Structure 1
Amino acid sequence: MLEVHSHKHLKKYYQKNLALWPHNLTLARLISRSLSRKDNTFIQLSSDSRNFWWPGLLIPLCLHNNNIVLILSERQYRLLFEVELPKLSSSRLGFDYVEGIELIPSDEKIWVLRYQDLIFANEKDLLKNRQLIFPESEFISNELRESMSIKITPKDWQNLIASRSRFEASIIEAHERLSRSLFSHSLSSDAVIRIDYKELLALKEILKDDLPSIMPWRRALNVVNNRWVTWAKLDNQKLSWDWYIQPLLPLQTLSGLLSKNTLLMLTNSGQSDSFFLDLNSKKFTFNVKVDLGNKYDQEPIPLFVPKRQPLPNTSHFYRHIIRQCQRLILGRTHPTIVLVDDLQLRLQITSELAGEFGLRVVHETTNIETNGIVCCSCQWWIVNQYNLPTPDQLIFPVIPLPTLESPWIAAKVEMLKHQGRDWFREFLFPETLAILLKSLAIIRGKDVRVAILDGRMRYRNWGKLIFEALEPWVALERLLPY
């Protein structure tokens, strides 16, 4: 009956709202089935779904809100309350919910949690017998890692000394020793340098049993072990540094919860993502797995990947991508998005393009001219793309492989190497595909040109897999006058 009611209400909803995604009626029935039967359900959404799938999820939740927990990222949270629920109000359906962890809801209310709240609720064992719903579940590991991240600033060191004055000399000595070591290895003004987790254990030994209750020290000293990654970000101008601490395997924190509770996961990236590879390695199974929408029914992306492009490790690669970016941008009347994850390279490209195109070029801001050129990371684009007009083109000067300069990425690769696993195909490459597909999701069907200027697309075997993942696409063999 829930499937029938959801179908009926969704059809009424679409009488007043344009149906922009043809699979929402099917999605609503699948979700209704999962809610009523308590199945572990995995639903792969086609990349043209963008944010149009929300009604197919929310309407069944309005009709069946028994022991439901909806877990959202910050962006999804804003989208739900600022966009989707106001649109749903015209259908006269009530979304009966409680948000956050201040109040534990009854079984008849939907519990809306951010990832940080999810971690706390799990630690307090508040989620028993509740069905967990994860939209955009391909980013669970990233969201958990960021939510569990600990940051220790110079001010926190001062607070530690003030609260444990009898250890003042030892704490100062430990801090100065670490500072000397970090700055002696610094190669740039904003260097990021790994710190052995044993440095925290040494500080814990100094404090003996008198561990501080103040945050963030309490968390840092209680949780850190060899499954956590720690690093410093230096500020050479102020001769100070911040200490960052993140879990290497954030999913392990929820492994018990995920195995005991019923799950409903929606994703745009599929099971090639490293998160789903981790789930499979733990022998986790879904009762229902559905691919919703045929990607070959979508409009193809105009894809510009010239032959005989140089590789990134060649001396003339930088000049090549600058010339190609200039050619691609010339004459365009709508925005261009240049996506580069490497900060140093991104700033160089931004500077070069600004010298050619002036104030049209901006760095990671949504305040742009009609024909503006935005240089940004892929993650920035994924978060901010809905606040920008539809661009003429996306340019990837390099394939967005996770960089080993990131302490967390480097530590994860080291762990996989130590286990004798294929760290590239199990981790780096799946992460790359997930980022690429998410970056392109919003421009499907909008005649937006995509250019990839990295020779590895043609010269590496895994480049062929990227071509396959981007399908459907149509090749642009040459640049035509605009």
Structure 2
Amino acid sequence: MIEVEVHQQLRALLRAQGGNAWPHHLTVARLVARALRLQRSTLMQIGSTAAYQGQHRLSYLASLLLWPEPLILVASAEVQHSLCHVELPRLRDWLGLTKPVCLAQTWPDPNFSGIALFSPQDWLQHRLPQHAPLPPGVPVAIDGAESLEDWTRAHLTQTLLPQDWDALLWAYPTRVETIRDARAALTHTLFRHPPNPYGCLIVAEEDRRLLGHLVDRLQQDSGQSFSGKWQQFTDTLLQPNTLVWAVLDRSQGSFSLNSAPIEVASALQPLWEGRTQILLNGVVDLDAQSEQFQLQLGLADLTCVQFATDRHNEALSLYLPDGVPMPNTPEFAPALMRQLQCLLTLGFAADTFSALIIDDLPLKSRIASTLAAEFGSRVKVEKGDCQVGDVLISGWTFWLEHRRSLPYPNLMAIATLPFPSLENPKVAGRVAYYKQQRQDWFRLYLLPEALRILQEAIAPLRSQSSLLALFDSRVLHRTYGQQVLTALGPYARLNYLDESILIPPQCSV
């Protein structure tokens, strides 16, 4: 059986070359091989640390290379680069295989028997009717499946830019005044809203109807339907599952319109039908069967496997002080400042790199100015050129985008949990949709999103046994706090602070 061959070959490689102590290599390789042989779809939650470091790639790639039939592998550009320059050369040299692997935008050839490596965007194109379909029955493996919902929503987002209105004027010269009046009315409605930090706002139902009415009039007058971007946008405009928002450029007095589906399961269905799926998910779902994850992606009847985080090598030191005021109180900011000053004093004594995650813009600015006055130029606000000894102050988005190019933090301090802000119009729009469906928007959207971001953000800390300081006391006083602590585990909770806990592992006391 292929499981035996994969096990033997990979075990021999690991023994001969060494240098990788991840304990689940052989298990992942056997599970992937078994899924292919039995045509049984499988979801593997490998853990955020293994996904961040790419420890699992050698395992599943060995099974894909030894499988004698064609396969589809979907991975981001960053993962593709690692596969092509690290794992593939290592396996091919050892296994002596000649199975072809090609970077593909469409299926290479009817007789192709290798691995077609797709980007998420190119793979998602095949759900569109006008695109050439993928061969039926070819299994698909997806590395980074926790991002699949975001990939799909971004792929399905339709955008109308200011120049698209100009194109509409040229296409309907007899209706110039109608188009200009509709554009002016929409501009007036959108710009009367006050600015917000997110630069966007939800397009109200009456404005969506205004656009729909404009489209209907132009189609009736011309006797023909729209084409191109306008057609794609208006096709989804009045659907209840669609979120429509505007991005405003107040300096230019212009706006762009965007639409995207809130749920993506129906859009993914054509890509699942008739083929085996192997999903490798980095973020660990607290539910071992990942029922909500399957529902969101339109999956069914999966074998689910969850790998626990290594308690000996990946445990964190968690400083979670009791008595910190709630984040929505005036006392929170002064209390947070005192805690950070204490931590950073210890950190500078140990010469460490520290990351402070503060997403609230006014609070971030206030903390940064105070700390810069005390610690000087070492304090940097969302700058990617940090070194050991610096203190980075950033929001969640900046940290997740730049964490690979930054030093490993010996200290990460988190002001508040990464719940999507209801002040963000796009978040508020999704919450409104869940409310209309009479669904638990907190348990289905806000909490899972916060746990996902939290696990991804702290992944770099685990290999260094770093200190994580969390000052959101809702963890201690809300019913969902235990789920947050489970997502952070394994950890050793600290009730005190001293210099020794921040000294890097390679240093001696």
Structure 2 partner of 1:219: 232
Listed as ranges, the matches of 1:40-439 within 5 Å are 40-50=41-51, 51-64=54-67, 66-91=69-94, 92-94=96-98, 96-106=100-110, 107-123=112-128, 124=131, 125-188=133-196, 191-196=199-204, 197-208=208-219, 210-214=224-228, 216-224=229-237, 225-272=239-286, 276-277=291-292, 279-280=294-295, 284-293=299-308, 295-330=310-345, 331-332=347-348, 333-343=351-361, 345-439=363-457
Deviation at 1:254, TM superposition (A): 0.6
Question: What secondary structure sits across from 1:243 in the alignment?
Answer: strand
Deviation at 1:155, TM superposition (A): 2.7
Structure 2 partner of 1:459: 477
Deviation at 1:328, TM superposition (A): 2.0
Question: TM-score, normalising length from structure 2?
Answer: 0.86
Q: Which shows bigger deviation, 251-260 or 87-96?
A: 87-96
Structure 1 partner of 2:506: none
Cα distance change of structure 1 residues 362 and 456 upon mapping to structure 2, 3 Å threshold:
same
1:64 maps to amino acid: W
Work out the percentage of aligned pairs sharing the same amino acid: 26
Aligned residues: 481
Q: Which shows bigger deviation, 101-110 or 386-395?
A: 101-110
Q: Is the 8 A contact 2:48 2:284 kept in 1?
A: no
2:328 maps to amino acid: N
Q: Distance in 1 between matches of 2:211 and 2:93?
A: 54
Q: Which shows bigger deviation, 331-340 or 389-398?
A: 331-340
Q: Is the 8 A contact 2:245 2:258 kept in 1?
A: yes
Q: Which shows bigger deviation, 108-117 or 391-400?
A: 108-117
Cα distance change of structure 1 residues 281 and 171 upon mapping to structure 2, 3 Å threshold:
closer
Deviation at 1:397, TM superposition (A): 0.6
Question: What secondary structure sits across from 1:461 in the alignment?
Answer: coil
Q: Which shows bigger deviation, 385-394 or 335-344?
A: 335-344
Cα distance change of structure 1 residues 328 and 244 upon mapping to structure 2, 3 Å threshold:
farther
Q: Distance in 1 between matches of 2:497 and 2:168?
A: 60
Q: Is the 8 A contact 1:140 1:275 kept in 2?
A: no
Cα distance change of structure 1 residues 278 and 30 upon mapping to structure 2, 3 Å threshold:
closer
Q: Distance in 1 between matches of 2:197 and 2:427?
A: 21
Q: Distance in 2 between matches of 1:359 and 1:188?
A: 30
Superposed CA deviations along residues 345-368 of structure 1, whole A, max 9, x for unmatched, are 545544444444343333444321
Deviation at 1:467, TM superposition (A): 1.2
Cα distance change of structure 1 residues 280 and 185 upon mapping to structure 2, 3 Å threshold:
closer
Q: Distance in 1 between matches of 2:169 and 2:32?
A: 53
Cα distance change of structure 1 residues 111 and 128 upon mapping to structure 2, 3 Å threshold:
same
Deviation at 1:474, TM superposition (A): 0.7
Structure 2 partner of 1:5: 5
User: Please, which runs of 5 or more residues in structure 2 have no aligned partner?
Assistant: 501-509
Q: What CA RMSD, in Å, does the superposition of the two structures yield over aligned residues?
A: 2.8
2:232 maps to amino acid: R
Question: TM-score, normalising length from structure 1?
Answer: 0.90
User: Please, which runs of 5 or more residues in structure 1 have no aligned partner?
Assistant: none
Q: Distance in 2 between matches of 1:190 and 1:427?
A: 19
Q: Distance in 1 between matches of 2:298 and 2:197?
A: 45
Question: What secondary structure sits across from 1:370 in the alignment?
Answer: coil
Q: Is the 8 A contact 1:40 1:262 kept in 2?
A: yes
Question: What secondary structure sits across from 1:311 in the alignment?
Answer: coil
Computing the radius of gyration from Cα coordinates, the structure with the larger value is 2
Structure 2 partner of 1:29: 30
